[in-house]
Structure 1
């Protein structure tokens, strides 16, 4: 290598630094000194305890009692790159949010660690002391203040101090720099005095690697370490955390009511957007955008990607491209939910006639779906099995499909395990639990979910549908291109189900009247 080439190689900028070339950060000593001086002091008064703090403490105690003498590690998760040096909007893992009470006031890379204690010495009478590890606010005399685009106050705004989070959440806090020692200390076989770890995996790759390394390094014979058994420990923690959310506490129910109310108001904005959507070559995007703007104004985010499916697109269950036209005379199925600042989300679907009036066949299909939903409501009572909600809806739909001459067999044959012909037009489940995740409690055991008993405090959806594709030659042409789903969010009380989304019209007459009140006398323009 020539001297010139060697010199160039020595001074070449490392690849991982080039991403910051655009910022042109000044680095003179004079600049550093000037940036560190003459800032007003930060607020010294600690914030009040959050309303959620006592509820979150109860959740932590419930988990603690399930895993005595074991260290539990629940990461919030890291930022995820969307494109080059820009990240997706951050959202912590739901288990972390549930156990801390943190919603949008979060910390990327934070980790909640449950450290086992002697009996009776844990938090709130539990078996552990919990500590929230995170990266606190950097001082304004540090380079991070103005130079760190992911964490610096100059770039992303003020972040909480350790003391502030401790005051708000009622949980001990520590700097993220102390996390590695907290996780790895004394890891090993409990039979010989070590501490077993359980981890919520696939949330933060760095934490996964840290725990795996600690387990491997402390195994008596690393080559014979039972990795499958260790993975099972982690899976059991994830399962238990998911099952903890099957029953909502009073604070969670309040957050669900907030999310549902915001979503219901968003459907008003959807109807207001339809006249413009009709004129746009991607009218579904107009509808999607109207709801998204409302979700960002009134909540944190969308709870999931909005489905704004017009015409035949409504027969694609998870149509989120939303690139289609919106045409008078067709239906538009909108499945949408606002995620509140607490991260709890609603999940509501309405199927609307674009011109404000259902055709005869559209009304017939809609009424069948509504009747199926009402049948599901009737059995969604404490003491009944959760899977019975789906069964009740399917019985109604199979009967209607038989009445219309669409089933190739009698309804009772279709409803049998060996039949299921009706599922050609209703292939999904009728209900799922709802909360921090739109499909909440998804890691719960079957016997507590599908085969579980409906219990006071549960929140779930009821959402039957019928989907007749344009390409479906098994049905008469009059049905093709019609997709209908009606979805409501249900709270189970001692007296039965309460429809949290009852403010949104459900019957065909109510929907038409609702839309007329928004459209005015002339209806939408085409």
Structure 2
């Protein structure tokens, strides 16, 4: 006779529940589907992103006629044990599907331009299961009891304007004749399925007709898809620009909240973490999340470019450099840096360094327009910085030598570039061709403008009054045929304006 424990073990193995979970009894399985209200039959409102995403798909389809383009959303990433990181869909999937926030793990968008395709654009995903299905109560990835009510095929179609099918139908789509390309880094399992479909097509034993072997593409073809889809994001349409403006507006709210809480952060200790938490609260409340790990670097920490540990104290008389941006629900993100005097007033030495950075930013903005190359933004900024370094007796060579390709000595005090593309990713279009990334600026591009000067406290080549001072000013700008537009212009930049901004917030 088996014991109750033996019976539970057998039931657990049959039901494939985790070791720490009690298996479901037959009585429970019969009881759980009963007594629920019917699902609301009102279709969800269409996403505002539909016109933009449709235009993006049209352009991509035109670039690859007669092919099938596979764009996965990506998978949940394990944080530890059975806990996952919050899901963020792959950027390419967002751009072409129009889905944002945390939609949709394990989904795949297929753009099919082959001659016999009954429909071009199809979203494959796991739709909501009926309450009679074990998935409803037992599946921690898809179950309604675990993650909330999911969309049906019809509801997802109403939201996205796409034809939607069950993810179980994806393999049949991949096996159909015609070349395949996939965004390889989005979902390893989907990439493996694409590669398997290619292998089948190339296998003479599969009975394919003459000329079909090897016709379904290669990893090199996938790389081209990655490049083209990344290039496509350079120029933003009007809807995308408004998303970025909105991200900047909301980020200003987060910056003001941090300023308001500076005295508390000083008092409580570990104030960098306090600043990070305040901004993160507003990012989650006003948008989807932070667009990247916030840098809240006080004192000498400001001279570590990617200081995301954020575990230091705040001291009156020092500066705090805060690099942070809110990612709105569409997943477009701001990227703003402000450097504040913790006590509200810049010291004379801090003013000198800050003013140099401000003037470098102004010089960069002057060439951020159609008719110039992207790389000229950096060149204009570093020349101003080198002129100040020379004036202060720090630069060991002439300004011309320092800014030349053979020089670069200034990089001891400004290691990073001045500008990068911005959009769905904080460093957007990263797979684009180098010549396109640094080449001619085009109307609709959105880029950062972020010069800085970083004088480490241990740098003996720097005058003592400057040691430990790190300043960066960063704004998001839209390239036009005329002067650039400052999307983050609501956040004050000039020294006197910054001090007045802080006083006004503290007086509220």
- TM-score > 0.5, shorter chain as reference: yes
State the match for 1:207 in structure 2: 190
CA-CA distance at 1:411 after TM superposition = 0.8
Q: Establish whether residue 246 from structure 1 lines up as the match of residue 234 from structure 2.
A: yes
Out of 462, 468, 473, the position equivalent to 2:449 is 462
Q: What is the rounded CA distance, in whole Å, between the counterparts of 1:15 and 1:24 in structure 2?
A: 11
Q: CA deviation at 1:121?
A: 8.0
Q: CA deviation at 1:446?
A: 1.4
RMSD: 2.4
Residue of structure 1 in register with 2:210 after alignment: none
User: Is this contact kept in 1: 2:202–2:214, CA < 8 A?
Assistant: no
Q: Aligned runs of 1:122-141 on 2, under 5 Å?
A: 123=120, 130-141=121-132
Structure 2: how far apart are the matches of 1:105 and 1:46? Answer: 20
Matches for 1:74-113 after TM superposition, within 5 Å: 74-104=71-101, 106-113=103-110
Within 5 Å, which residues of 2 pair with 1:12-31?
20-25=18-23, 27-31=24-28
| Contact 2:353–2:453 (CA under 8 A) maintained in structure 1 | yes
Within 5 A, what are the aligned runs for 1:6-85? 20-25=18-23, 27-85=24-82
Tell me the CA shift for residue 89 of structure 1: 0.4
Distance 1:184 1:43, change over 3 A: same
Q: Please name the residue that 1:197 is paired with.
A: 180
Superposed CA deviations along residues 410-446 of structure 1, whole A, max 9, x for unmatched, are 1111111111111111111100111100000111111
Contact 2:201 2:214 in 1 (8 A): no
* Mean Cα deviation higher: 269-278 or 352-361: 269-278
Aligned position for 1:288: 276
SS at match of 1:20: coil
> Do the aligned residues in 2 keep the contact of 1:239 with 1:445 (CA within 8 Å)?
yes
- SS of alignment partner, residue 370 of structure 2: coil
Which residues of 2 match residues 488-503 of structure 1 at below 5 A?
488-503=475-490
Tell whether 2:200 aligns with 1:217.
Answer: yes
Distance of aligned partners of 1:42 and 1:226 in 2 relative to their CA distance in 1, 3 Å threshold: closer
Deviation at 1:390, TM superposition (A): 0.7
Q: Secondary structure at the match of 2:239?
A: helix
Residue equivalent to 1:155:
146
Deviates more, 1:111-120 or 1:428-437: 111-120
TM, length-normalised to structure 1: 0.90
Task: List alignment gaps of at least 5 residues for structure 1.
Answer: 124-129, 187-194, 522-526
- Report the CA distance between 1:18 and its aligned residue: 8.6
Report the equivalent of 1:338.
326
Q: Which of 487, 504, 508 is the matching residue for 1:517? A: 504
CA apart distance, 1:463 = 0.2
| Contact 2:257–2:278 under 8 Å retained in 1 | yes
Structure 1 counterpart SS, 2:18 = helix
Q: Is the 8 A contact 1:348 1:487 kept in 2?
A: yes
The count of corresponding residues between Structure 1 and Structure 2 is 496
Shift of 1:519: 2.5
Aligned residue in 2 for 1:421: 409
- What stretches of structure 2 of length at least 5 have no aligned partner? 206-212
Q: Does 1:442 align with 2:439?
A: no
- C-alpha spacing 1:157/1:419, structure 2 compared with 1 (3 Å): same
State yes or no: 1:310 paired with 2:298.
Answer: yes
Mapped to 1, the partners of 2:102 and 2:63 lie a distance apart of 28
The Cα shift of 1:288 comes to 0.5
